[in-house]
A and B are shown apart, each in its own frame.
Chain A
Amino acid sequence: MTDWTGTLSLDLEERKGKTVAKRVYFQGALKVMRPIYFDDSGQVCYYLLNPGGGYLDGDRYKMEISADEGSKVTLTTQSATKVYKTPKGYAYQETQIHLQKGSYLEYLPDPLIAYENAHYKQKNVVHMESGATFIYTDILTPGWSPEGKKFSYNTIQLVTEVYLNGKLGVFDHIKLMPEKQTLSGLGFMEGFTHLGSMIAVSEYTNNSLLDELYEVIQIEESSFKFGISKLAVPGFSIRILAHSTQVIERILDQCQKIISEKWNNRTPSFLRKY
């Protein structure tokens, strides 16, 4: 394909207890920074970034990540994903992830900020074998307009598909179209402005973990609303409605810390960059 604005592919494997890239390739407006090892766990962290600083009209990005047996990786971004106005064609990002059994991948991008009249579509497709662990979060903000008007973007659409051993196990589809929906009202954002989600798939999921996460989330004092539930495959999802990015980040960080300690025997490092 030559019509991608940016492509990135990253293949990981475990070598003597350390996760390393066996192949890294990027082209155009997508880049991966050098690997970072926060501790001696062997888990690697990669920061993905968009050198252009934001997604423009008709931009198309593609990422392909694979993790071989036993490899452990954190993927994050260096700053919020900004989508500028797209008068001609929507901006699109596609991510394909392949996880072998016993691999651990957490994809924790910064919030999405869609500017006035922006149209953004994102598709994540994850193929995993049983025994692999996948954790994904996203945060949707009300966007940005010069007048400070909330929800002035055109469309934000996020599709996530997780296949476990070749069979579809999770399908999540969020499509916010402020002009066509009463976003702030009952059934949608319920008076809140920010939406956070977490999807975690792992054989280690059990009821006591969900109970623990439920209790921890409730400690957060700001005004917010959340739900947590088991998926059709071993795993769970969390949805959070709040008034700020910080509240959602705090909650997701707390949850991720507990999950990482239980599933990965490791206390995660502080990833935020500002």
Chain B
Amino acid sequence: MNNNILSLFQLCDSNLPTGAFSHSFGLESYIQEDQVKDQETFFQWLKVYLHEQLIYSDGLASRLVYEALMDEDIQEIWNLDRLLTVQNLPRETREGTQMIGDRMLKLTESLYGMPILSQYRAEIKRKSSFGHPAIVFSMVAHGLGVTKPDTILYYLYSAISSQVQNAVRAIPLGQTAGQTITHNFIPELTQAVERILQLTKDDFGIVSPGIELSQMKHERVNIRIFMS
């Protein structure tokens, strides 16, 4: 393992102060309706969340951003930033993602000092872009020389592991159960990367109606521990 991969691992840590731990992306709605209540039902939810929502949004975007960086097509990155934001119809999920992206950008800009990160920040400041963690992550990974499939894999891992931590707190599950889920989920992640590599831009933003609806419903839940 080289130091660059180790450097990227820092971004995969669910303790990274981006605020990701305060967003459940609709999971809390399922927990409150008692549809997600244990290790098994959470695993089921996580599978649908990954394979039917994340791969078409964050996952595919991560790949396309990486490719745009290779082609030095920066305008394409700003297009993807807008597309990622406006396809996210539930307000809490959209604004939460934007907040996480913004904090991650601030943090990584000071840690890695890559010019593309400063350029992204300037775009956001000018209100031409919104900010998205999948884009920030892919910029850093590309800058560190991590391969495209690994970039997508590590990004998905970071998104999934923060959801596992959320589930441990919210359902609640034991820490060991949380680790078991993460471990058993690894084949799902590699499968997701293979799918993403085969998708086309036409597949971008396909939603899973139930997941999306639960993210909209979260706005109206009375008692909450998550912001989305």
> Interface of A with B (CB < 8 Å)?
167-175, 181, 185-190, 195, 214, 225-233, 237, 239, 241
Interface size band for B: 35 or more
The interface residues of chain A, by DSSP majority, are classed as strand
Query: Could you say which residues of chain B place their CB within 8 Å of the CB of A237?
Result: 89, 216
Q: What's the minimum C-beta distance from B93 to chain A, rounded to whole angstroms?
A: 9
Q: Which of A170, A171, A229, A239 contacts B209 (CB 8 A)?
A: A239
Q: How far is the CB of B129 from chain A (nearest CB, A)?
A: 11
Q: What's the least CB distance linking A12 to chain B, in Å?
A: 27
Q: Assess whether A186 is in contact with B89, with CB atoms less than 8 Å apart.
A: no
A241 and B213 contacting across the interface, CB-CB below 8 Å: yes
Does the CB pair B207–A174 fall under 8 Å?
yes
Question: In the complex the two chains form, what is the Cα distance from A169 to B88 in whole Å?
Answer: 11
The reply on B83 being an interface residue by CB < 8 A is yes
Given that A174-B206, A231-B89 are contacting pairs, would A187 and B82 also be in contact in the complex, using a CB cutoff of 8 Å? no
CA distance in complex: A195, B210 (Å): 10
B45 touches A187 (CB 8 A): yes
Given A171-B86, A186-B45, A195-B220 contact (CB < 8 Å): no
* Distance in Å: Cβ of B222 to nearest Cβ of chain A: 13
Chain B residues lying within 8 Å of A170, measured Cβ to Cβ, are: 86, 89
Q: How far is the CA of A172 from the CA of B205 in the complex (A)?
A: 7
Whether A172 contacts B52 by the Cβ 8 Å rule is no
- Does B215 sit at the interface, judged by CB under 8 A? yes
B211, closest chain A residue (CB): A187
Q: Are A228 and B216 in contact (CB under 8 A)?
A: yes
- Given the interface contacts A173-B205, A174-B209, A239-B212, does A187 sit within 8 Å of B48 by beta carbon? yes
Chain A residues near B219: list those with CB within 8 A. 229
Question: Counting CB contacts under 8 A, is B142 at the interface?
Answer: no
Q: How far is the CA of A233 from the CA of B85 in the complex (A)?
A: 11
Does B148 make an interface contact (CB < 8 A)?
no
CA–CA, A190 and B53, complex, Å: 15
Nearest residue, chain A, Cβ from B49: A187
14 cross-chain CB contacts under 8 A: A173-B206, A174-B206, A187-B208, A189-B209, A189-B210, A190-B213, A227-B216, A228-B216, A229-B92, A232-B86, A232-B130, A237-B89, A239-B89, A241-B213
Q: Does B214 contact A (CB under 8 A)?
A: yes
Listed in ascending order, the chain B residues whose CB lies under 8 Å from chain A are 30, 35, 41, 44-45, 48-49, 52-53, 56, 82-83, 85-92, 94, 130, 203-217, 219-220
Known: A227-B213, A230-B91. A188 touches B208 (CB 8 A): yes
Among residues of B, the one whose C-beta sits closest to the C-beta of A225 is: B213
Contact of A171 with B87 at beta-carbon distance under 8 Å, contacts A181-B52, A187-B49 already known: yes
The smallest C-beta distance from A222 to any residue of chain B, in angstroms, reads 16
Q: Are A195 and B86 in contact (CB under 8 A)?
A: no
On whether A188 and B52 interact (CB within 8 A), knowing A169-B86, A227-B214, A229-B91, the answer reads yes
B48 touches A171 (CB 8 A): no
Chain B residues whose CB sits within 8 angstroms of the CB of A187 once the complex forms: 45, 48-49, 52-53, 208, 210-211
Assess the A186–B48 pair: CB atoms within 8 A.
yes
**Contact between chains at B82 and A227 (CB < 8 Å):** no
B190 to chain A, nearest CB (A): 19
- Report chain A residues within 8 Å CB of B220: 214
A contact residues around B53 at 8 Å (CB): 187
* Chain A min CB distance to B90 (Å): 5
Chain B minimum-CB-distance residue to A169: B86
Give Cα A3 to B211, complex, Å.
Answer: 38
A187 and chain B: residue at smallest CB distance: B48
Closest beta carbon of chain B to A127's beta carbon, Å: 14
Q: How far is the CB of A125 from chain B (nearest CB, A)?
A: 14
Q: Given the complex of chains A and B, what is the CA–CA distance between A82 and B56 in angstroms?
A: 28
